[in-house]
Amino acid sequence: DTEVTQTPKHLVMGMTNKKSLKCEQHMGHRAMYWYKQKAKKPPELMFVYSYEKLSINESVPSRFSPECPNSSLLNLHLHALQPEDSALYLCASSQGGTAGYTFGSGTRLTVV
């Protein structure tokens, strides 16, 4: 299995809702990542997990809460989002070091 699987593919949520994005990989990768991508812009790093521990938080607002329950799963919990948080949220994994990242297809999030 050489894929990163993200669910759901699309999500519409209100500003008072709580929702979660899920990411799964079975490549044995020890590092997992969340990126945010606005239309026609490059992906921007949000969080890095290494060996299931949060190692980098790129000053992301607390309404985004990451969680790594085990080495194969990565969640992003969403609460009280704003319309400007609407974007494509990408999950990626890697072996660590300088290895290339494998990306999922993303979750298209719309906040209304």
Asked whether position 105 contacts another protein by CB under 8 A, the answer is yes
Asked whether position 60 contacts another protein by CB under 8 A, the answer is no
Dihedral of alpha carbons 9, 15, 20, 25, sign? positive
**In this structure, what are the phi and psi dihedrals at residue 83, rounded to the nearest 5 degrees?**
-55, -30
Q: How far is the CB of 97 from another protein (least distance, A)?
A: 6
Beta strand residue intervals within 8-103, DSSP E: 10-13, 18-25, 31-37, 44-50, 53-57, 64-70, 73-79, 87-94, 102-103
Asked whether position 63 contacts another protein by CB under 8 A, the answer is no
**C-beta of 19 vs 108, nearer to another protein:** 108
Asked whether position 58 contacts another protein by CB under 8 A, the answer is yes
DSSP code of residue 71: T
Residue list 24-43, contact with another protein (CB under 8 A):
31, 33, 40-43
Asked whether position 50 contacts another protein by CB under 8 A, the answer is yes
Q: Of 57, 55, 53, 107, which is closest to residue 85 (Cα–Cα)?
A: 107
Binding residues for another protein (CB under 8 A): 4, 31, 33, 40-45, 48, 50, 55-56, 58, 90, 92, 94, 96-106, 108
